[in-house]
Amino acid sequence: MLTLVQAALLTNDVFVQGVAQAIVTECPLLDKLPFVDLNGSQLVWNEESGLGSPTTYWYAVGDTWQEAAFTPAQKTVALKILGGDADVDEFLAQTYRNPNDLTATTIVEKAKAVGYQFNQAIINGDSAVVTNQFDGLKKILGTSGQRLIAGATGATLTLDMLDQLIDLVKPGKPDVLVMSRRSRRKLKFLWRAAGSSYEMMDAFGQRVFAYDGIPILVDDNIVDTEGNETGITGTLLSSIYAVQFGMKRGLVGVTNGGLTVEKVGQLETKNANRYRIKWYSAVALTRSIGAARLAGVNGS
């Protein structure tokens, strides 16, 4: 599986490469998220829901052996249509010093808007609230065992809470922790108070902020104004997510054909050419214990 940028680099269309890079710049999760490219309109996979329950797994000589196959649960995620139109005025295109730069700039700006929508939906997507949107991590995790509550009315973040969140994702550790800027500031405060370092070197020798060796991603779509929900009464709260990536391991992006830019052509009602950015896409949590959420973190 390839990330969005990696897939774009396989094409000779430099125009599309530029759009893909613009979205990743604005949406840090996309830089980590692997994508599954489908032939159809939905991703279907099986997740084990039970390993079978024979009377025993231990036998004496001559015993009759019992068969008990594992029980699969079929999961499905359907692609959604994300996109937007960008109009380039013909007068400006003709009188602009470099028409290609004007067109590219216009499309990049629209691509950023599309990117914001995708990134927002990774966290907060809810098809019951926004028609035709895919469900994001907040809804997928719901009130399952993968949601940890900081406090019934909100509570201050502690390192113990973060350790509990990390332990919900298994086996191994999460690939990233995703939080708001406020939560990151609080985490830095806790680490300074403990006299510990909160930086690490990534594969390219760059310093990144990390906790327990897990890189921290700041996502502005994780707000500090979350309110009442099941099990929590309060306001001005936030969440932290622990995420693994990969098919049958954790979170993946799903697409058919990847990101595309097409020229719709000259408009009838105004002196402009229209370009359409389209992305048949969604996200899927392909293993229920591949992600977790700490909800109810306040700002104190």
Neighbour order of strands in the sheet with 291-297: 147-149, 291-297, 238-243, 176-179, 214-218, 207-211, 199-201
Q: For 229, which DSSP code?
A: B
Q: Each residue's pLDDT tens digit in the chain (300 positions)?
A: 556 666 666 555 655 655 566 665 556 788 889 999 999 999 998 887 667 777 788 888 988 888 877 778 889 999 999 999 999 988 888 887 666 678 888 888 888 888 889 989 999 999 999 999 999 999 999 877 899 999 999 999 999 999 999 999 999 999 999 999 999 999 999 988 887 767 665 656 667 788 988 999 999 889 999 999 989 999 999 999 999 999 999 999 999 988 888 999 999 999 999 999 999 999 999 999 999 999 999 988
Q: For residues 29 and 26, what is the distance between their CA atoms, to the nearest angstrom?
A: 9
**Structure-token pair, residue 262:** 């097409």
Residue 85 phi, psi (nearest 5): -105, 145
Q: What is the pLDDT of residue 53?
A: 76
pTM of the predicted structure, to 2 decimals: 0.85
Angle between helical axes of 14-26 and 99-124 (0-180°, round to 10): 40
Angle between helical axes of 181-194 and 159-168 (0-180°, round to 10): 120
Q: What residue spans define the domains of the chain?
A: 4-50+71-297
Instruction: Return the closest-CA partner of residue 166 out of 201, 107, 210.
Output: 210
**DSSP-assigned states of every residue in 93-156:** HHHSS-HHHHHHHHHHHHHHHHHHHHHHHHHH--TTTSTTPPP-HHHHHTTSTTEEES-TT-B-
Cα 78–37–51 angle (5° rounding)?
65
Query: 4-50+71-297 has which fold?
Result: phage-related protein like fold (3.90.1690)
Q: For residues 214 and 173, what is the distance between their CA atoms, to the nearest angstrom?
A: 8
